[in-house]
């Protein structure tokens, strides 16, 4: 498990994976903690969760710098991620008791109701691209619901993984309520069969989701999967192009394009296609690659060398198949894993850029014949995580948004997650929901109680 600075390629720190005895100790500790944590009143859980939020805010600069160093995120984006984690903790501290309050149902019983009770220990398998937020958006509701959690984080962000456990410990959570497991991904699949694991949540690739779902299915354990996305960014003829292009650049290049809900497919109707591309190019080419810790850097590196190589193969193969390079489309020479801000046009079915998710700073343009064709193209994709549509007519945008096959559709706004709104996808983007009332109810026993 290696922590490497993506901006330089420098090895920061390395860790040996745990031996079986170390893993057994952590699992046993979580199992021992589970009954007492389950019985802990909501008020006490909320107090500790607010402590975690305070810890995140108190040391936001430190944790933000760690994220920037370990996975290459711009420092301002990394600090915003840490602040968002604090918000998520505070949100569930304030709402969990109401979300999980017993729900009375009138039946032929003297009294009947639905109780929302914890399942036990949740295994969280998390990715590197938002190394704090992805964990906290799963952990905050799961812990507030009375579950314990063990984390298998991505192997290239081990320092972030250990820091998150330290945050919960510093906040006063009892030993074993949250543990980071320093194990490889292959061991996570095997771990699912352990009877001390009661459910699994995964954020990651489609391939990882299929493996985790298969292992959990064999063990008859609940899963929530938030997988890849190839979000449509649809620009209609009456859109404010200046605004759409500005937000589009942010939506595509934030986190160096390494986001499941980044705008990836720019679907343009004929009336505005050339003007939008020109505006987008002007804004994207102004991005400055460099040290993520420096304030004037606006384009981060990719997180790993292999990710950059894979992205470039996808781009090169698409261009060879007939797509047109508008700008960029090559790695940046020198240290680190930087890639030019890029756009490819004339992308068509059968090309890798059309069929696959491009996880990096490359925008793809798909030209639509008209508005109906734009909707068809938006839905002609294996993924269904997020989407946005841009138009001067909000009602028109809403009608369009409701017809897009995705877990979230935004009108005149960048797709984002919010603790108050459910987050997740359809089709190959996975199933289940995180955040909001729906997220906290994913990992509870929805139990009927009937009394004569």
Beta bridge partners of 112: 450
- Residue 244 DSSP SS3: helix
**Are the C-beta atoms of 353 and 347 separated by less than 8 Å?**
yes
Phi-psi region of 212 (alpha: psi -120 to 50; beta: other; left: phi over 0): alpha
For residue 67 the two structure tokens come to 């994220």
User: How many other β-carbons are positioned within 10 Å of the β-carbon of residue 437?
Assistant: 15
The residues, any chain, with a CB within 8 Å of residue 331's CB and separated by 6 or more, are 308, 312, 338, 339, 340
The two structure tokens encoding residue 182: 């320093």
Tracing tokens 């962000």 back to the chain, one arrives at 157
Q: What is the DSSP string of 281-323?
A: HHHHTT--B--TTSTT--BPPPS-HHHHHHHHHHHHHHHHTT-
> Residue 399 class from Cβ within 10 Å (0-12 exposed, 13-18 middle, 19+ buried)?
middle
Using only the alpha carbons of the chain, give its radius of gyration: 22
Q: Which two tokens stand for residue 39?
A: 């019985």
Q: Give which of 266, 330, 253, 335 is closest to 298, Cα–Cα.
A: 253
HSE of 183, CA atoms in CB hemisphere, 13 A: 25
H-helix or E-strand spanning residue 225: strand 222-226
The string over 339-358, giving b where at least 16 C-beta atoms fall within 10 Å of a residue's C-beta and e elsewhere, is bbbbbbbbbeeebbbbebbb
Helices and strands (H and E) in the chain: how many: 15, 20
Q: Who's near 421: CB < 8 A, 6+ residues apart?
A: 408, 435, 436
**Active-site annotation, residues:** 226, 260
């Amino acid at each position: 498990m290696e922590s490497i600075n993506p901006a330089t390629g420098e090895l920061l720190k390395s860790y040996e994976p745990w031996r079986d005895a170390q893993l057994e100790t952590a699992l046993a500790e979580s199992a021992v903690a589970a009954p007492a944590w389950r019985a802990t009143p909501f008020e006490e859980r909320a107090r500790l969760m607010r402590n975690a939020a305070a810890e995140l805010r108190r040391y936001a600069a430190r944790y933000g710098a760690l994220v920037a160093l370990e996975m290459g995120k711009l420092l301002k984006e990394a600090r915003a991620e840490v602040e968002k984690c604090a918000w998520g903790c505070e949100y569930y501290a304030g709402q969990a008791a109401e979300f999980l309050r017993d729900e009375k149902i009138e039946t032929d019983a003297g009294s009947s109701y639905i109780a929302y009770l914890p399942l036990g220990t949740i295994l969280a398998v998390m990715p590197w691209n938002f190394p704090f937020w992805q964990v906290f958006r799963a952990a905050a509701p799961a812990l507030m619901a009375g579950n314990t959690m063990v984390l298998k984080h991505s192997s290239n962000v081990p320092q972030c993984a250990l820091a998150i456990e330290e945050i919960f410990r510093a906040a006063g959570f009892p030993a074993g309520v949250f543990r980071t497991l320093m194990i490889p991904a292959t061991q996570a699949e095997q771990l699912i069969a352990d009877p001390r694991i009661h459910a699994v949540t995964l954020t990651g690739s489609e391939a990882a989701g299929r493996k985790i779902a298969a292992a959990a299915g064999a063990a008859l354990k609940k899963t929530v999967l938030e997988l890849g996305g190839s979000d449509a960014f649809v620009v209609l003829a009456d859109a404010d192009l200046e605004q759409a292009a500005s937000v589009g650049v942010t939506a595509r290049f934030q986190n160096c394009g390494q986001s499941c809900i980044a705008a990836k497919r720019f679907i343009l109707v004929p009336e505005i296609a050339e003007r939008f591309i020109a505006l987008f190019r002007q804004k994207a080419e102004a991005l400055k690659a460099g040290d993520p810790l420096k304030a004037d850097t606006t384009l981060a590196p990719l997180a790993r060398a292999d990710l950059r190589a894979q992205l470039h193969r996808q781009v090169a193969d698409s261009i060879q198949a007939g797509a047109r390079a508008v700008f960029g489309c090559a790695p940046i020479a020198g240290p680190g894993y930087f890639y030019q801000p890029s756009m490819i046009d004339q992308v068509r079915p059968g090309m890798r850029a059309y069929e696959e998710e491009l996880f990096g700073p490359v925008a793809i343009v798909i030209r639509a014949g008209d508005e109906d064709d734009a909707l068809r193209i938006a839905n002609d994709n294996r993924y269904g995580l997020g989407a946005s549509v841009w138009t001067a007519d909000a009602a028109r945008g809403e009608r369009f948004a409701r017809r897009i096959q995705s877990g979230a559709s935004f009108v005149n706004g960048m797709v984002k997650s919010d603790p108050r709104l459910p987050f997740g996808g359809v089709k190959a983007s996975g199933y289940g929901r995180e955040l909001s009332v729906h997220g906290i109810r994913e990992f509870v026993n929805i139990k009927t109680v009937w009394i004569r």
